[in-house]
């Protein structure tokens, strides 16, 4: 493997033509010289070449992470100093905010307003964990006069972190920040379609003073490099965010070496609008709930249930506003809906819509790929609302991951809860009502990790994020996440005045 740069990391340009792997604190070429084309989904153009990791590179990254963990330099760094480094990462990100946002937009096709929020949240994640790690402590459980028992939280070790393309920088931050906060070493495998901001984040970690080998970034094919990490005996934990089928597969493979596993998987989140809801707020929030990030969100509220008494009025107004959504230049602040990630995902979305039509559903608006002036080479789909559907249809049961919502009516609270829970997934959910009692009753019965009440936002640093059922397990973005990157060790210490002689011999 060719070593490209030995010196400690200094500020590198965010936007450039070529991005390297980051292994053991150095920029590296791929061992076989191969590259990935990083594209702009809005135009279809190649914007950069990226070194494409091989299994050999993955092995180097595992060994670097292992060594960095075992030499103890980072995990034994005092908490206040580790906290300072995390804050420095955040500070560098803040100072390069506009560059990071632009790079995220160019490589993902998402609207700049979405990217701004996500990059800001990635910054705040590092700030949150810089504080949270100080509060992350073991506990004491004394037996008075005899035993002084206490626990230590020890970093779990080397973590393979595999992330998807829909929130490239935010997912990298959700993974890296808590892991390094507690002293782990990480190997991040970004999605092949969107590796750029994760690589830059890895460089920023080094620039901020994270020791070599603690943060390694290796874009490469999931089935190849990702699998290699998951099966590697020197990797202690796998943190995966991605689709449910791949998560299921990885869990089986990780079980062979009894790795710790966290899975953040897919969703088909319900959005329930009761007849007593503030209609305008419910329409605006529901619109954002599905079309934010072009519907390519794990927590997209893609099943919309509306009380029968307000159904017609709601649907008319919802469709009217959907038609007003602006697609176009993702770097334009007025754009609401950006591009689809690639041709493959565009085909997936289109096939779901066609299947709904074949099943007898009604397309109220949208329903086909869009052609955007000046962006004809990109991948675009019209924001789509589908009615006259039922729970046997694929379009209602499966995650589409695009700007497509199905809309159905319900007659009472009981039916709304039944419909909401009639899914294999359990990530997000939302409900709109002015009745506080109902909000609590329904929230308590929904089988999902997140319930948004009169609110379209789901992710705040400090608030647990994660799923029930086939949406995975483990919670990110919160103090509890630190437990998922640590082992708890109990130290049981006798301090009585007479020696113990349990057998009495
Ligand atoms: P994906 O196809 O499952 O890929 C996710 C990551 O896994 C990518 O880095 C991919 O690499 C890698 N991968 C693929 N096959 C692998 C294998 N056999 N072994 C190891 N790694 C493998 O998901 P995606 O299409 O990128 O992302 C969309 C999915 O992510 C949706 O289902 C969405 O709901 C979910 N998601 C969930 C959350 C959450 O918090 N619950 C958040 C965001 C997204 P390549 O890119 O090289 O294929």
Per-residue model confidence as pLDDT tens digits over 375-415: 999 999 999 999 999 999 999 999 999 999 999 999 999 99
- The range of the structural domain enclosing residue 111 comes to 18-265+471-490
CA–CA distance from 414 to each of 140, 167, 420, 428, 441 (Å)?
Answer: 45, 35, 10, 19, 10
Q: What is the rounded distance in angstroms from the CA atom of residue 124 to the CA atom of residue 313? A: 39
Cα-to-centroid distance, 297 and ligand 1 (Å): 12
Q: Is the beta carbon of 442 within 6 A of some atom in ligand 1?
A: no
Q: Is the beta carbon of 166 within 6 A of some atom in ligand 1?
A: yes
Cα-to-centroid distance, 187 and ligand 1 (Å): 16
Count Cβ atoms within 10 A of the Cβ of residue 443 and give its class: 0-12 exposed, 13-18 middle, 19 or more buried.
middle
Is position 99 within any domain? yes
Say which range, 3-12, 23-32, 174-183, 235-244, has the weakest mean pLDDT: 3-12
Same domain, 366 and 304: yes
CB 293 within 8 A of CB 339: no
Looking at residue 279, which CATH number applies to its domain?
3.40.309.10
Question: How do residues 268-303 score in pLDDT, each as one tens digit?
Answer: 999 999 999 999 999 999 999 999 999 999 999 999
Same domain, 261 and 150: yes
- pLDDT confidence tier of residue 13, bands split at 50, 70 and 90: confident
pTM for the model stands at 0.96
Cα-to-centroid distance, 405 and ligand 1 (Å): 22
Same domain, 432 and 479: no
Is position 9 within any domain? no
Average pLDDT across the chain, whole number:
96
Residues 6+ apart with CB under 8 A from 383: 291, 295, 322, 325, 327, 337, 365, 366, 403
- pLDDT confidence tier of residue 9, bands split at 50, 70 and 90: low
Question: How do residues 314-332 score in pLDDT, each as one tens digit?
Answer: 999 999 999 999 999 999 9
Nearest-5° Cα angle at 90, 160 to 471: 40
CB 328 within 8 A of CB 339: no
Is position 336 within any domain? yes
Same domain, 137 and 285: no
Same domain, 274 and 384: yes
Give the gyration radius of the chain's Cα atoms: 24
Whether residue 4 has pLDDT greater than 70: no
Same domain, 50 and 183: yes
Q: Is the beta carbon of 371 within 6 A of some atom in ligand 1?
A: no
Residues above pLDDT 70, as percent of the chain: 98
Q: Is the beta carbon of 191 within 6 A of some atom in ligand 1?
A: yes
Looking at residue 204, which CATH number applies to its domain?
3.40.605.10
Q: Is the beta carbon of 162 within 6 A of some atom in ligand 1?
A: yes
The total of structural domains in the chain comes to 2
CB 218 within 8 A of CB 23: yes
Residues 6+ apart with CB under 8 A from 159: 65, 175, 179, 184, 185, 186, 187, 235, 236, 237, 238, 239, 485
Same domain, 279 and 424: yes
Same domain, 337 and 205: no
Same domain, 275 and 387: yes
Same domain, 300 and 412: yes
Residues above pLDDT 90, as percent of the chain: 96
- pLDDT confidence tier of residue 6, bands split at 50, 70 and 90: very low
Closest by CA to 443, choosing from 457, 465, 428, is 428
- pLDDT confidence tier of residue 14, bands split at 50, 70 and 90: confident
- Across residues 211-233, what is the average pLDDT? 98
Question: How do residues 68-95 score in pLDDT, each as one tens digit?
Answer: 999 999 999 999 999 999 999 999 999 9
Whether residue 15 has pLDDT greater than 90: no
Is position 10 within any domain? no
Q: Which one of 225, 243, 263 would you pick to mutate in the ligand 1 pocket, going by the greatest count of ligand atoms within 8 A of its CB? A: 243
Same domain, 259 and 313: no
Is position 500 within any domain? no
Within a 13 Å sphere around the CA of 426, how many CA atoms are in the beta-carbon half?
Answer: 19
Same domain, 239 and 284: no
Is position 496 within any domain? no
Please report the beta strands in 156-205, taking only residues with DSSP state E, as ranges in sequence order.
158-162, 185-189
Q: What is the rounded distance in angstroms from the CA atom of residue 211 to the CA atom of residue 185? A: 10
Is position 464 within any domain? no
Is position 115 within any domain? yes
């Amino acid at each position: 493997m060719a070593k490209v740069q030995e010196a400690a990391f200094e500020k590198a340009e965010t936007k450039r033509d070529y991005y390297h792997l980051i292994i053991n604190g150095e920029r590296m070429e791929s061992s076989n010289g191969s590259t990935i084309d990083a594209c702009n989904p809005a135009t279809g153009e190649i914007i950069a070449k990226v070194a494409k990791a091989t299994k050999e590179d993955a092995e180097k990254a595992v060994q670097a992470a292992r060594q960095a963990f075992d030499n103890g330099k980072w995990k034994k760094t005092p908490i206040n100093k580790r906290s300072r480094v995390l804050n420095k990462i955040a500070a560098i990100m803040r100072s390069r905010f506009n560059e990071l946002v632009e790079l995220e937009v160019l490589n993902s096709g998402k609207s700049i307003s979405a990217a701004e929020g996500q990059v800001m949240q990635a910054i705040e994640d590092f700030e949150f964990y810089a504080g949270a790690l100080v509060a992350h402590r073991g506990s004491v459980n004394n037996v008075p006069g005899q035993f002084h028992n206490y626990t230590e939280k020890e970093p779990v070790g080397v973590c393979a972190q595999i992330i998807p393309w829909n929130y490239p920088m935010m997912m990298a931050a959700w993974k890296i920040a808590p892991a390094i906060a507690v002293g782990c070493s990480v190997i991040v495998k970004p999605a092949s379609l969107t590796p750029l901001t994760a690589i830059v984040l890895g460089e920023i970690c080094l620039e901020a003073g994270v020791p070599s080998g603690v943060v390694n970034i290796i874009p490469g094919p999931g089935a190849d490099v990702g699998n290699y990490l998951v099966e590697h005996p020197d990797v202690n934990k796998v943190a995966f965010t991605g689709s449910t089928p791949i998560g299921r597969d990885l869990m089986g493979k990780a079980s062979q070496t009894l790795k710790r596993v966290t899975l953040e998987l897919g969703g088909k989140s319900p959005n329930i609008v009761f007849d007593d809801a503030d209609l305008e707020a419910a329409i605006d929030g529901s619109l954002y709930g599905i079309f934010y990030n072009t519907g390519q969100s794990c927590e997209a509220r893609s099943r919309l249930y509306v009380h029968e008494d307000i159904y017609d009025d709601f649907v008319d107004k919802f469709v009217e506003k959907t038609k007003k959504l602006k697609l176009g230049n993702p770097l334009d602040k007025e754009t609401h809906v950006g591009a689809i990630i690639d041709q493959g995902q565009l085909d997936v979305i289109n096939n779901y819509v066609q299947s709904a039509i074949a099943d007898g559903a009604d397309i109220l608006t949208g329903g086909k790929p869009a052609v955007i002036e000046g962006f004809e080479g990109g991948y675009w789909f019209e924001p789509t609302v589908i009615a006259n559907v039922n729970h046997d249809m694929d379009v209602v049961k499966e995650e589409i991951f695009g700007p497509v919502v199905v809309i159905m009516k319900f007659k009472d609270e009981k039916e709304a809860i039944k419909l909401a829970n009639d899914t294999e997934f359990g990530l997000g959910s939302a409900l709109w009502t002015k009745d506080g009692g109902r909000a609590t009753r329904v929230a308590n019965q929904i089988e999902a990790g997140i319930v948004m009440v009169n609110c379209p936002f789901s992710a705040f640093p400090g608030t647990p994020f994660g799923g029930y059922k086939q949406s995975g397990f483990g919670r990110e973005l919160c103090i509890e996440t630190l437990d998922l990157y640590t082992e708890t060790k109990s130290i049981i210490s006798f301090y009585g005045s007479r020696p113990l002689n349990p057998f009495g011999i």
